[in-house]
Amino acid sequence: MQKLDPYLNIDPGTMSPFQHGEVFVLDDGMETDLDLGHYERFIDESLTKFSSVTTGQIYSDVLKKERRGDFLGKTIQIVPHITEQIKAMVQKAAKVSKAEVLICEIGGTVGDIEGQPFLEAIRQLKQTLGEENVFSVHVTLLPFLKASQELKTKPTQASIRELRRLGIQPDMIIARADYEIDQELLEKIALFCDIEKEAVVPSPTLDSIYKVPLNFHELGVERTIAKKLKLKLSEANLDDWIELVGKINQVNRTIKVGLAGKYTDLNDAYMSVVEALKSAGYHHDVKVEIEWVDAERLEEGDLSQLKEISGIVVPGGFGERGIEGKVIAAQYARENNLPYLGLCLGMQIATIEFARNVLKIKNANSSEFAPATKYPVIYIMPEQEKIRKKGGTMRLGAYPCKLKKGTLTYKAYKTDEISERHRHRYEFNNRYKDRMEKAGLIVAGDYLDGKVVEIVENKNHPWFVGVQFHPEFQSRPTKPHPLFRDFVEACLKGSTLV
């Protein structure tokens, strides 16, 4: 899978979650948007930096070549230089992945000015690779007019006309709508857009995104693609998906889990965490209902959000806003024996709370939020102190971690060493490790022979785990991550199911 994003940012790493939702990190440390997370969850393959391409990367690469003199004094232009670089990135992703088929998404909307070089590059690719090796799919929206109670195809016809003007004739149209699309409308699209009837695929909104592949399979999408690309089509094995969808349909028990963050009105900011919790729930034949816990309301003393939940997750994040509310959430979980899962920042929050309320270090804090604190139980990595650039300068990507036997984490993973993805600058301060462990907050996993703490657990609590990494990035719909699986199990043990 590959995503071509027309924006000028090098990557979404410095963007607000309001812009592109969560930042999804790959094994190699590439910061991407949440679409790459969807790709990995659906195909169960770990992607690489070649799967995420932005206009910013393309222009940056071309300008570096120009500065080196690679173009021998030529005038640098959108065509052919930018388009050639786009084509090279597409072909490199295919080559590096050794995939038989590369599915490449162009972000944005047909007609966007920033997307034109990408569309031109795709047009040229059909010429370069041969028409039998390129299959173009246009995903289009059919708006519903309430006044006349009908879906309209005019926007689809207009976007197809624009594509054809640019030299691209789609081989397939995926028609998106919030309502069922009748056969007459599909035939109308086929006629006006000059496309075979079976290649116009209805994609109505379903009650679960995980039903979409089964819907496409029933409509013969893969047969249409294989016919054009002359691929030998084997029988699809969708047993795992059918089982998953069956569970989604049949689950009639519900459990509430609190997600304590500061973007509680923006689900996209915690997309992978939400999906990891859901898949862990389906594993246990229970629906996980997310209770969005507003950290700033906790700071104001409103603890009502925590009263009816069976567990608390504190996800990753940056910045000072809402931090004290998250500390309150961690304290509530510890004092009330409520299962707690701290992810990245959530692990740091648990450490700060423990230092303040158990070790009685009243002003314990992270140097991220209180640079002048005398008790930095969380501090910046020494090699990071001099770095002032924001983009791509954190500890990013997959790092190994050795687990301590006899811990909750070891019980979950059932192995001595794991590899998980990181995205952070600040670390557990080892100066406080001995005091923490004596009081009950033990180190359950570390990196570099104990120099870097990766996992903490409260041994005096039924299930209280904080990890410095982002396990949610490796959770899959049919294979829930071990930590989320065991967290939901712990929630079930002490909960009243609805």
Interval 332-345: pLDDT, tens: 999 999 999 999 99
Report the C-alpha gap between 8 and 169 in whole angstroms.
27
Residue with tokens 């039998």: 132
The whole-number pLDDT of residue 14 equals 80
Which of 215, 241, 267 marks a domain boundary? 241
- Shared domain for 11 and 62, answered yes or no, is yes
- Shared domain for 185 and 324, answered yes or no, is no
- Bridge partner list, 396: 423
- Shared domain for 305 and 188, answered yes or no, is no
The whole-number pLDDT of residue 498 equals 42
- Shared domain for 32 and 169, answered yes or no, is yes
Quote the pTM value. 0.92
Give me 493's structure tokens: 């043990």
The answer to whether residue 247 sits within a structural domain is: no
Known catalytic residues are 344, 470, 472
Report the C-alpha gap between 126 and 304 in whole angstroms.
59
Report the C-alpha gap between 262 and 238 in whole angstroms.
38
The answer to whether residue 473 sits within a structural domain is: yes
- Bridge partner list, 435: none
**Over the range 201-227, which residues count as b (16 or more CB within 10 Å of their CB) and which as e?**
bbbeeeeeebeebbeeeebebeebbbb
- Shared domain for 186 and 264, answered yes or no, is no
The answer to whether residue 498 sits within a structural domain is: no
The answer to whether residue 276 sits within a structural domain is: yes
CATH code at position 139? 3.40.50.300
Report the C-alpha gap between 427 and 419 in whole angstroms.
17
Question: Radius of gyration over alpha carbons of the chain, in Å?
Answer: 25
Instruction: Please tell me the total count of domains within the chain.
Output: 2
Report the C-alpha gap between 416 and 88 in whole angstroms.
41
Report the C-alpha gap between 333 and 464 in whole angstroms.
8
Three-state DSSP at 488 gives: helix
- Shared domain for 83 and 192, answered yes or no, is yes
Report the C-alpha gap between 146 and 24 in whole angstroms.
37
Report the C-alpha gap between 498 and 496 in whole angstroms.
6
The answer to whether residue 108 sits within a structural domain is: yes
- Shared domain for 235 and 259, answered yes or no, is no
The answer to whether residue 59 sits within a structural domain is: yes
The answer to whether residue 82 sits within a structural domain is: yes
Where is 326: in which H helix or E strand?
A: helix 323-335
The whole-number pLDDT of residue 267 equals 75
- Shared domain for 177 and 36, answered yes or no, is yes
For residue 227, report the phi and psi dihedrals to the nearest 5 degrees.
Answer: -60, -45
- Shared domain for 138 and 282, answered yes or no, is no
Question: How many CB atoms are located within 10 Å of the residue 146 CB?
Answer: 6
- Shared domain for 173 and 71, answered yes or no, is yes
Which of 211, 241, 271 marks a domain boundary? 241
Report the C-alpha gap between 429 and 381 in whole angstroms.
9
Provide the residue range defining the domain that includes 152: 2-241
Give per-10-residue mean pLDDT for the chain (498 aa): 93 79 93 94 95 96 95 94 97 94 94 95 94 95 94 96 95 96 96 95 94 95 94 91 93 94 76 96 96 91 90 90 93 96 97 97 93 93 57 82 97 97 93 96 94 96 97 96 98 70
Q: In this structure, is the dihedral angle defined by the CA atoms of residues 22, 480, 455 and 326, taken in order, positive or negative?
A: positive
CATH code at position 470? 3.40.50.880
